[in-house]
Amino acid sequence: MKTIHTLLLIVASLALVTACDRDSNTQSKSAGDENKQLTVGFSQIGAESAWRTAETESIRSEARNRGIDLKFSDAQQKQENQITALRNFINQKVDAIILAPVVETGWEPVLREARAAKIPVILVDRGVKVSDESLYTTLIASDFVAEGRMAGEWLANKLGGKGNIVELQGTPGAAPAIDRKKGFEEAIAKHPELKIVKSQSGNFNRAQGKEAMEAFIKSEGKNINAVYAHNDDMALGAIQAIEEAGLKPGTDVIVVSIDGVRGAFEAMVGGKLNCTVECNPLLGPAAFDAIEKARKGEQLQKKTIVQDRLFDQSTAQAELPNRKY
């Protein structure tokens, strides 16, 4: 009887120890979790523009400031490279993923894998099209439609509602290329004598922006009144093409773009670019704040819209010293 009693006691104590262990595991995990160094995977599109380089630097430096181990992957403009990077991050059991998606579609399978592994995914700068929004934690981005609209309204006003525009589009399928086109077209639709006579992708980079502009000049000649570029780098490439064709950018051909990088401000001060709509790339602090909140189990809003402003030659000089990218 005494043996049975002792055995029961041992079994009971073992059960208690196991239960405590289980509890202390969770507790010590979350207590330890708060202090442990976080590992975050960042899948970046590439380095096609000064804007993108500034975004990469913002995320890298913020990770350094917070003592976060950042695993960086440059996708060289390819979605398949981003998907591979995300799968590697999931296999490495990172604490969170930051994704700047090159295009809008095709993300569902890999986002499902991240969700199944309970890894929060923070989208920065570009959105995705998915059937289920719970596949990502939050999106921190500018309103690209509004940016396109601002550029269109400014240009319509500058040209007095009349003229021929050539458009340099961003990467096909990318949210900013789709939305900036949409917003701009909405704005100029109110002016029947304002037309986009040619439109082509320059993939958000300077060299291809220049090439596309050369082709526009070849086919349209002096018929071009303005260039609308979906980013500053393509506009700066177009400026070179305009000059090489013997025309004056900013005067013979009005140049409007989006991003607000330092080079665009210098070009405005030099009279070669007329207007740029800022798109803030300094998203590091907001991205890591979101990760910290998600880890604490706080509810995050699905989208945080970054506020942008428009600058033209009348405000460029005063703003130039304040530019951070």
User: Closest separation between CB of residue 221 and ligand AHR, Å?
Assistant: 29
Q: How far apart are CA 301 and CA 308, in angstroms?
A: 19
Total residues at interface with ligand AHR (CB under 6 A): 13
Counting contacts by CB under 6 A, is residue 231 touching ligand AHR?
A: yes
User: Closest separation between CB of residue 299 and ligand AHR, Å?
Assistant: 26
N-terminal to C-terminal alpha carbon distance within the chain = 81
Q: How far apart are CA 325 and CA 308, in angstroms?
A: 14
Which of 38, 128, 212, 279 touches ligand AHR (CB under 6 A)?
279
User: Closest separation between CB of residue 102 and ligand AHR, Å?
Assistant: 9
Kindly tell me which of 98 and 258 has the beta carbon lying closer to ligand AHR.
258
Which of 95, 259, 278, 308 touches ligand AHR (CB under 6 A)?
259
Q: How far apart are CA 209 and CA 47, in angstroms?
A: 15
Which of 62, 95, 104, 125 touches ligand AHR (CB under 6 A)?
125
SS3 track for 271-300: CCCCEEEECCCCCHHHHHHHHHHHHCCCCC
- Dihedrals phi, psi of 112, to nearest 5 degrees: -65, -40
- Of 48-56, 181-189, 213-221, 246-254, the segment contacting ligand AHR by CB under 6 A is 48-56
Handedness of CA 302, 306, 307, 309 (dihedral sign): negative
C-alpha radius of gyration, the chain, whole number: 25
Counting contacts by CB under 6 A, is residue 204 touching ligand AHR?
A: yes
Farthest-apart Cα atoms in the chain, separation: 107
User: Closest separation between CB of residue 62 and ligand AHR, Å?
Assistant: 18
Counting contacts by CB under 6 A, is residue 119 touching ligand AHR?
A: no
Neighbouring CB atoms inside 10 A of 238's CB total: 31
Which of 38, 40, 42, 51 touches ligand AHR (CB under 6 A)?
51
- Of 44-52, 113-121, 159-167, 181-189, the segment contacting ligand AHR by CB under 6 A is 44-52
- Of 43-51, 70-78, 206-214, 266-274, the segment contacting ligand AHR by CB under 6 A is 43-51
Nearest in space to 142 (alpha carbons), one of 114, 109, 176, 113: 176
Q: What is the token pair recorded at 213?
A: 């502009």
Contacts of 88 (CB under 8 A, 6+ apart): 41, 73
Kindly tell me which of 95 and 179 has the beta carbon lying closer to ligand AHR.
179
Nearest in space to 285 (alpha carbons), one of 95, 131, 124: 124
Which of 101, 176, 260, 284 touches ligand AHR (CB under 6 A)?
176
Which of 49, 137, 169, 208 touches ligand AHR (CB under 6 A)?
49
Counting contacts by CB under 6 A, is residue 48 touching ligand AHR?
A: yes
> How many whole angstroms from its chain centre is CA 296?
25
Q: How far apart are CA 149 and CA 156, in angstroms?
A: 10
Counting contacts by CB under 6 A, is residue 216 touching ligand AHR?
A: no
Counting contacts by CB under 6 A, is residue 52 touching ligand AHR?
A: yes
User: Closest separation between CB of residue 259 and ligand AHR, Å?
Assistant: 5
Which of 94, 99, 119, 126 touches ligand AHR (CB under 6 A)?
126
User: Where on the chain is the footprint of ligand AHR (CB under 6 A)?
Assistant: 48-49, 51-52, 125-126, 176, 204, 231, 233, 258-259, 279
